[in-house]
Structure 1
Amino acid sequence: MSFKGNLDEIVALNESGLLGAHTSWARVKLRSVVEIVNGFPFESRYFSAEKGVPLLRIRDVLRGGTETLYSGPIPDGFWVRPGELVVGMDGDFNCARWRGVPALLNQRVCKLVVDDEFVDPRYLHYVLGGYLRAINAHTSSVTVKHLSSRTIGDIPLPLAPLAEQKRIADKLEVLLARVDVCRERLDRVPLILKRFRQSVLAAATSGKLTREWREARGRKGGPEAWTACTLAELCVPSRVITYGVIKLGNDTPNGVPCLRTSNVRWLRIDIDGVKRIAPVLSAEFGRTVLQGGEVLVNVRGTLGGVAVVESTMRGWNVSREVAVVPIDASQVNAHFLAFWIGSDASQQRLAKLEKGVAYTGINIEDLRMLPVSLPPLDEQIELVRRVQELFKLADELEVRRETAASAVGSMVTKILAKAFRGELVPQNSNDGAASELLARVLNKCSAAATDRRKVPNAIRSKPTMSIGIDKDTIRAAISKLEVDSFSFDELWAVVSGDYDSVKDILFELLQEPNPVVCQAFDNSVRAMKLRRVQS
């Protein structure tokens, strides 16, 4: 769906705080200070990953690079250079300054060619994001959201004096660079905490974590004195390590909760999205009906998950991708065993046993034979206590990181909002008035409009039409042209209407199942032209 709202009303609401403007500034339609160049519908049969020139597609806007190459005919005017502003016109309406190598501009992406006589390109980049997000928020999402160049051109750009725009952009570059450094450091914290937790488990399973504890009790030796056994030897005699329900069937209201790999995470169970199965089906797999205290291990699909079953999950079941380890509590502490299986050493050992290509898995017999070094039960309990204590510290740090990351995100919004209110840098009387800059913009637009209408009359089959612009209007104009091959400007010359509106409608016609017009490379002029499709 395309945007159908009222931009002036959205700006007046200013829900994000990013659509403001200082009282001394003017506003101008974006199309008055930029040229909006829509991407070209390059034919996908020429796409490749091996040969051709880079092609900027909508998915590349934020990535800043492309893996798609194009080897077909290349029309003029569709190159994007590093630093140019590009906008994705489907989905989230992202905008970015292109960071990749020169590339061709594909359809559903446009670039903004800024008239730097009136607007600093950096200033425009900072301003534009807030308006595009506001448009996106007010665009229906029944189907894929679409952004037209007409809507982009209608954005009421806050026009500060050019010198003030430059000062704002300079200040934002400094402040946001500092914010980026802060964000990058915060982004590294989860990996650091992950490594910390694994280091804790390595210390626990190697006996280092309880060395002083053993010495205080006069116990000699460490892991070398622990009992060597296999996972299977730690199970209750009446149950074996096995996997669960093979085919879960449809979700059954009020049925038996059945844990899948998506529920069994690393040292925790996530009950969001738990599937419920028919009680009769669960009873058929009574061997894996949970009693509480078992250890679960993912053995197919998403591997690495291992967790202890809580007592509140008694009577639940598991899917075939999850193995149940029914431990003998007189020999082993369930949490210690989960820590052992979840440690890097055990995970690497299990990874070497994975089988399959498209759908990897661990053979149940291999899991049963997993080696375990088992300390005395009281030392297991002490190890679990110490690990959980250290993990609690890591959890607290993670919460603090999330709070800090949220604060950094809101800081960016606050900085930008302050900039666009005209409060980030001081006004300077030597900059000149924004109204004077606006007058120059309008004068230049008026002159350009006059020049643009000076087109040859050679291909006109009748005087310029003045009826409303829609698909039928364009179809009629195409059918009445005296030539089969023509340029866009030649078509536009016989249609009375906004340049961008005509272009948007034409691109829609080109994508119809049975188009009345197509594009073809004209060797005589070495350029792409439009060609009327004969019915």
Structure 2
Amino acid sequence: MSASKVEDFDDVSRQGLPDGWAWATVADVGDVELGRPRHPDWHEGPDMRPYLRVSNVFENRIDATGMKEMDFSGVFDRYRLEPGDVLLNEGQSPHLVGRPAMYRGEPADVAYTNSLIRFRANTGLLPEWALLVFRNHLHSGRFMREVRITTNIAHLSATRLKAVEFPVPPTAEQHRIAAALDIRMARLDAVDRTVASARRDLAALRKAVLLDAVPEPEQWPAHWTATTTGKAGTVELGRARHPNWHTGPKVRPYLRVANVFEDRIDIGDVKDMDFSGVFGKYRLEPGDILLNEGQSPHLVGRPAMYRGIPEGVAFTNSLLRFRASDDVLPGWALLVFRRHLHAGRFMREVRITTNLAHLSGARLKAVEFPVPPLDEQRHLVRTTKQRLASLDCIELGLDRATRHNSALRRALLSEAFSGRLVPQDPADESAEELLKQIRMEREAAETERKAARTAARTGRKAKVDTIPPLSASADDTILADGEQATLPLEFSS
């Protein structure tokens, strides 16, 4: 059975699938349901159940650590997970939206919230195949085309997921592909876990190097001057952006939080704004340290030094600028701020608004800042830079391993969805037949549900109709106007 070449079904026309396959949508081949919202009133109740949320679902892996509980009285059956259900992240950073994992029965009796979407495959569709399709959509960027951004979080709605295209091979071929991919993908996943573990070790080493150069305040040498950031230099918040300043006579480039990484400024996407009358105030000078004012909590205060490129550039209020005084080297200031970042010092100063953490200029000014003699600053900056450079080389190697592993995964999935990974069997029942059976089963199930609802309504009406009217008694006799009935009274001692 021949197959037309398919490099990535994300952009393939409906004529590009292997023979015997068929295109469908996610809604055609399974049930899609958003999880239950959380509510303060459900923090306790008679039917407390554990639930999974977005922080528990990683690609092809569910981590039950830190699961919470909620009262699911009357609705647990609707949100209860069954083995084979595939969970996808509904809200995340854009490149992680739709990150899928299969629930395999552990932990038992668990539900899920509306930060996740559940896909439950219809009969004839292998859940493992659905997981592979969703993983391919994740890595090909297909899900990113469906996201909507709200308060800096990307969302993939259940409605949009239902309409996403879904390639369907014959059932037997689904089993063959899933079996062939199982070992190969497991090896790639193991590499990812190893790289992730190495990154954690590297972060611990980097923190140790920085803490060795700039220890905790109680360990500062006696000849160091203990001061605050505000006294070691000047701190200034950048200029706010405004639609009226998109054009004007003094348009200048500016840096924003998206340009500032740790010890690195990315000038690949620098915007312009009119700085008429204020450019001198916000113009950067070589040696200025820029710190992220607003970011996710663990990245607030992420610092980098401006070294003069690009020239004539300003900065906006998503950044704070520190300009060192005469007795503080810019390199030393950068080292101190990197130390504070990795030691979690800045996190103690953040305030959260609309899902973003903020480090105000006033709070940064109050953060402790050690000032050794200038010669000692130079020595510490030089030796620490050398030690960190070795760690940076290791990190570059990990980055290469990650890219290589990702490329292998995409190539492997491409082979699977092109029909080249396993032999095709002309005797396999076609995917069109499978989709026809799924439609028939769903129509039959819907007919059953309608009949059950009709029977329930009929039963309720029949019950009302069979209630006998109240019989009349002597006490129910209608009295003429002005007459008064004597009612018997009973007393008990």
TM-score for both structures, normalised by structure 2 = 0.60
Alpha-carbon distance between aligned partners in 1 of 2:306 and 2:442, rounded to the nearest angstrom: 77
Determine whether 1:188 maps to 2:197: yes
Alpha-carbon distance between aligned partners in 2 of 1:233 and 1:142, rounded to the nearest angstrom: 40
Q: Which residue is 2:477 aligned to?
A: none
Q: Which residue is 1:112 aligned to?
A: 121
Of all paired residues, the percent bearing the same amino acid is 18
Q: Which residue is 2:178 aligned to?
A: 169
Determine whether 1:278 maps to 2:263: no
SS of equivalent residue, structure 2 residue 287: coil
Alpha-carbon distance between aligned partners in 1 of 2:87 and 2:229, rounded to the nearest angstrom: 59
2:168 pairs with 157, 167, 170, which one?
157
SS of equivalent residue, structure 1 residue 370: strand
1:259/1:318 contact within 8 Å kept = yes
Displacement of 1:280: 0.8
SS of equivalent residue, structure 2 residue 325: coil
Q: Which residue is 2:372 aligned to?
A: 373
Displacement of 1:296: 4.5
Given the superposition, is the C-alpha separation of residues 28 and 196 from structure 1 closer, same or farther in structure 2, using an over 3 Å criterion? same
Given the superposition, is the C-alpha separation of residues 158 and 203 from structure 1 closer, same or farther in structure 2, using an over 3 Å criterion? same
SS of equivalent residue, structure 2 residue 120: strand
Displacement of 1:335: 0.9
Q: Which residue is 2:388 aligned to?
A: 391
Determine whether 1:241 maps to 2:234: yes
Alpha-carbon distance between aligned partners in 1 of 2:379 and 2:275, rounded to the nearest angstrom: 41
SS of equivalent residue, structure 1 residue 81: coil
Determine whether 1:201 maps to 2:202: no
Alpha-carbon distance between aligned partners in 1 of 2:345 and 2:141, rounded to the nearest angstrom: 52
2:22/2:431 contact within 8 Å kept = no
Deviations 1:80-119 (A, max 9, x none): 412234679999777643356454898975421334xxx6
2:4/2:17 contact within 8 Å kept = no
SS of equivalent residue, structure 2 residue 169: strand
Paired residue type of 1:402: D
Deviations 1:472-524 (A, max 9, x none): xxxxxxxxxxxxxxx54699x9xxxxxxxxxxxxxxxxxxxxxxxxxxx9796
Q: How does 1:12-91 map to 2 (within 5 A)?
A: 14-16=6-8, 26-27=20-21, 36-37=30-31, 39=33, 48-51=42-45, 71=72, 80-85=81-86
Paired residue type of 2:236: Y
2:328/2:371 contact within 8 Å kept = no
Given the superposition, is the C-alpha separation of residues 62 and 356 from structure 1 closer, same or farther in structure 2, using an over 3 Å criterion? closer
Displacement of 1:372: 1.9
Given the superposition, is the C-alpha separation of residues 136 and 13 from structure 1 closer, same or farther in structure 2, using an over 3 Å criterion? farther
1:252/1:278 contact within 8 Å kept = no
SS of equivalent residue, structure 1 residue 280: coil
Deviations 1:396-442 (A, max 9, x none): 33332222112111222333344456665678xxxxx6526459967
Paired residue type of 2:128: R
Given the superposition, is the C-alpha separation of residues 351 and 372 from structure 1 closer, same or farther in structure 2, using an over 3 Å criterion? farther
1:266/1:305 contact within 8 Å kept = yes
1:114/1:121 contact within 8 Å kept = no
1:85/1:113 contact within 8 Å kept = no
Q: How does 1:133-532 map to 2 (within 5 A)?
A: 136=142, 146-147=159-160, 157-159=168-170, 162=172, 166=175, 168-205=177-214, 224=221, 227-228=224-225, 230=227, 241-244=234-237, 247=240, 249-250=242-243, 251-253=245-247, 254-257=250-253, 259=255, 263-271=259-267, 272-273=269-270, 276-283=273-280, 285=281, 289-296=283-290, 303-312=300-309, 316-318=313-315, 322-328=320-326, 331-344=327-340, 354=349, 360-361=359-360, 363=362, 366-367=365-366, 370-374=369-373, 376=375, 379-419=376-416, 424=421, 434-435=426-427, 437-438=429-430, 445=437, 452=444, 488=450
Alpha-carbon distance between aligned partners in 2 of 1:183 and 1:76, rounded to the nearest angstrom: 35
Deviations 1:121-163 (A, max 9, x none): 43454356558998958988899884586887xx562226x4x
SS of equivalent residue, structure 1 residue 412: helix
Q: Which residue is 2:467 aligned to?
A: none
Alpha-carbon distance between aligned partners in 1 of 2:142 and 2:21, rounded to the nearest angstrom: 21
Alpha-carbon distance between aligned partners in 2 of 1:230 and 1:183, rounded to the nearest angstrom: 43
Determine whether 1:126 maps to 2:132: yes
CA RMSD, 1 decimal: 5.8
Given the superposition, is the C-alpha separation of residues 293 and 122 from structure 1 closer, same or farther in structure 2, using an over 3 Å criterion? closer
1:242/1:364 contact within 8 Å kept = no
Runs of 5+ consecutive residues of structure 1 not aligned to the other structure: 1-10, 207-221, 428-432, 457-486, 494-520, 526-535
1:49/1:67 contact within 8 Å kept = no
Alpha-carbon distance between aligned partners in 2 of 1:334 and 1:79, rounded to the nearest angstrom: 56
Deviations 1:429-483 (A, max 9, x none): xxxx652645996799499689949979xxxxxxxxxxxxxxxxxxxxxxxxxxx
Paired residue type of 1:342: R
Paired residue type of 1:243: E
Of stretches 447-456 and 71-80 in structure 1, the one that deviates more from structure 2 is 447-456
TM-score for both structures, normalised by structure 1 = 0.56
Q: Which residue is 2:484 aligned to?
A: none
Of stretches 12-21 and 174-183 in structure 1, the one that deviates more from structure 2 is 12-21
Paired residue type of 1:280: G
Q: Which residue is 1:97 aligned to?
A: 102
SS of equivalent residue, structure 1 residue 435: coil
Alpha-carbon distance between aligned partners in 2 of 1:445 and 1:232, rounded to the nearest angstrom: 70
Alpha-carbon distance between aligned partners in 2 of 1:342 and 1:84, rounded to the nearest angstrom: 43
Displacement of 1:364: 6.9
1:87/1:111 contact within 8 Å kept = no
Alpha-carbon distance between aligned partners in 2 of 1:282 and 1:167, rounded to the nearest angstrom: 65
Number of aligned residue pairs: give it. Answer: 414
SS of equivalent residue, structure 1 residue 82: coil
